[in-house]
Amino acid sequence: MRELKPILAASLFAPLDDALVSLLRGLSLDEWNAPTVAGAWTVKDVAGHLLDTKMRRLSLHRDGYITRAVVDDLATFINGMNREGVTWMSRISPAILIEMHATYGAQMAAFFETLDPYATAKLSVSWAGEDESANWFDIARELTEQWHHQQQIRDAVGRAPLYERFLEPVIDTFVRALPYTYRSVDAPEGTAITLRITDVWTLVREESRWRLYAGESPSPTTDITLRGDIAWRLFTKQHVDPQARIEGDARYAQPVFGMTSIVA
């Protein structure tokens, strides 16, 4: 086992957005109106949400434009902003949505490239239990947001998934939620839970807390294997059969299947 490395994902935004714009340009009117797994949102709603997210990110982090709000519960606040954004974007035609994605997607990609990945981010990654995060983690979190919603569109309209180059860093980001997910799980010191998806990680109980490492334990208490195409759906709250292979003590596998690596 070894220490985790930062996920340097800034260079992936430009090709990810190019893929999105190409995807959207090829949709028929019926496909724009197709339902998705994102609640009541259609394909157009998800595309509008992605655009709203880009514009909010640039407004806050690049331009320093801050709107004052009382935040009692982060998930409720974020979900409210998301609903408002989708409602506003519903007034915009698909053609203009595509043009705006091309413009603001490129601007967001360029902005992320200017940031020091090791400086403190303006927003923390709450689903990993962090009160303060480095830019690299916040950027990687944004990659998972943009990527998994594009996958929802691809699923809804029967297009091929965008796994090459993207699935590995997305899963690597998602699994950083493991220590926070297991925070209430008590276990003997040295308990080791190895998780195999696109790579291998091991969660270890040390000094009454959980710590995540890259690599596998030589003698894991629990060994879990998940397919990547199932894992990303599980970690974004889709209801799917984990189809997991579990070896060892199965009790310690259950929190993995309920882990949420998005604000929800």
State percent of the chain over pLDDT 90.
Answer: 88
Give 181-219 as a DSSP string.
Answer: HTTT----TT-EEEEESSSEEEEEEETTEEEEEES--SS
207-261 residue pLDDT tens: 999 999 999 999 999 999 999 999 999 999 999 999 999 999 999 999 999 999 9
CA–CA separation, 233 and 148 (whole Å): 8
CA–CA separation, 231 and 93 (whole Å): 34
Per-residue confidence (pLDDT) for residue 77, from 0 to 100: 72
Of 104, 138, 95, the closest CA to residue 118 belongs to: 138
Per-residue confidence (pLDDT) for residue 133, from 0 to 100: 97
CA–CA separation, 137 and 120 (whole Å): 10
Task: Report CA-CA distances (Å) from 109 to 2, 115, 174.
Answer: 31, 11, 20
Per-residue confidence (pLDDT) for residue 263, from 0 to 100: 79
To the nearest 10°, report the CA torsion of 161, 165, 166, 171: 110
CA–CA separation, 198 and 196 (whole Å): 7
Name the packing angle between helices 135-157 and 43-57 (round to 10°). 160
pLDDT at 82 over 80: no
| pLDDT tier for residue 71 given thresholds of 50, 70 and 90 | low
To the nearest 10°, report the CA torsion of 72, 259, 50, 113: 100
State percent of the chain over pLDDT 70.
Answer: 97
Mean pLDDT confidence for 41-70: 90
CA–CA separation, 92 and 113 (whole Å): 29
Out of 62-76, 151-165, 175-189, 196-210, pick the least confident: 62-76
Pairing status of strand 200-206 against strand 209-214:
antiparallel
Classify the phi-psi angles of 186: left when phi > 0, otherwise alpha if psi is within -120 to 50, otherwise beta.
beta
CATH number attached to the domain at 10-162? 1.20.120.450
Pairing status of strand 222-225 against strand 192-196:
parallel
pLDDT at 44 over 90: yes
Mean pLDDT confidence for 155-176: 98
The whole-model pTM stands at 0.93
Phi, psi of 64 (to 5 degrees): 70, 25
What superfamily would CATH give domain 175-257?
SCP2 sterol-binding domain (3.30.1050.10)
pLDDT at 162 over 90: yes
Under DSSP, the state recorded for 132 is S
172-216 residue pLDDT tens: 999 999 999 999 999 999 999 999 999 999 999 999 999 999 999
Per-residue confidence (pLDDT) for residue 68, from 0 to 100: 67
Higher pLDDT: 53 or 70? It is 53
99-138 residue pLDDT tens: 999 999 999 999 999 999 999 999 899 999 999 999 999 9
CA–CA separation, 197 and 18 (whole Å): 27
Mean pLDDT confidence for 24-41: 96
Higher pLDDT: 66 or 207? It is 207
Task: Report CA-CA distances (Å) from 193 to 196, 203, 250.
Answer: 10, 5, 10
Domain map (residue ranges) of the chain: 10-162, 175-257
pLDDT at 62 over 90: yes
Per-residue confidence (pLDDT) for residue 69, from 0 to 100: 66
